[in-house]
Amino acid sequence: MTGAGISTDSGIPDFRGPSGLWRNDPDHEKLVTIDYYLADPDIRRRSWQFRRDSPARTAVPNAAHLALVELERAGLLDRLVTQNIDGLHQKAGSSPDRVLELHGNMSGVLCVRCEARSTLAEALARIDGGEPDPACLVCGGILKTTTVMFGEALPGEVVAEAVRATERSTTFVAIGTSLQVQPAASLAGLAVRSGARLVIVNAEPTPYDDFATELIRDPIGEAVPQLVARFTA
């Protein structure tokens, strides 16, 4: 399971780390909270600007993403559960059917009323054309990216498959995640209860460190390739 920390070497800031978005701008969390987003047009305008200016749009996979592709090609990766919305695992070459995106993906756009779908590129083109808060072209409803905002439920089938994969795992590796956001964090505990080894690769302590077989504090871009090399040796 990967969190924001795996993408920081690709130039995408994390959320809860020492230089994370939430610590630098606590008000920023409103931009990705569904109740604020639906109720306040100004929040929506700021949220679209955040998406337009996000470094995730032009980011490329780093050594850690590429190492997980090698783990898959070696036949040792069953599922890749990610809390990230940047799509970098797929860009690196991970099989889309093995990647379980718990929080959705920023590349798509959804109408909250009629559920019509379009792309982020289309929405941003309308914003650049003078529509700071573009409405659905089908019904006039509010548009949002196909990401799971705070206050929204995670996609049920994706969560269910993540649980199934966790229960059958022999080794569960948590990479670059604070293991604080539920229900994703609970997968680490489920892995331990199911008899798996728990390996945590994260610079900061997590609530599950005491249950880990191995804790790795080295930089993720170095630690993950080294870990994969050990697994595939």
Residues with catalytic annotation?
A: 103
- Asked if 3 and 84 touch (Cβ cutoff 8 Å), the reply is yes
Question: Environment class of residue 78 by beta-carbon count within 10 Å: exposed (0-12), middle (13-18) or buried (19+)?
Answer: middle
CA distance 139 to 197: 50
User: Strands, DSSP E only, in the chain?
Assistant: 80-82, 99-101, 104-111, 117-119, 143-147, 171-175, 197-201, 214-216
Structure tokens at 87: 């799509």
CB 9 within 8 A of CB 62: yes
Amino acid 94 reads S
Do you know the residue count of the chain? 233
The Cα–Cα gap between 16 and 18 comes to 7
Note the helical H segments in 62-170. 63-73, 88-92, 120-128, 156-168
Measure the CA angle with vertex 51, ends 45 and 56; round to 5°.
170
β-pairing, 171-175 with 197-201? parallel
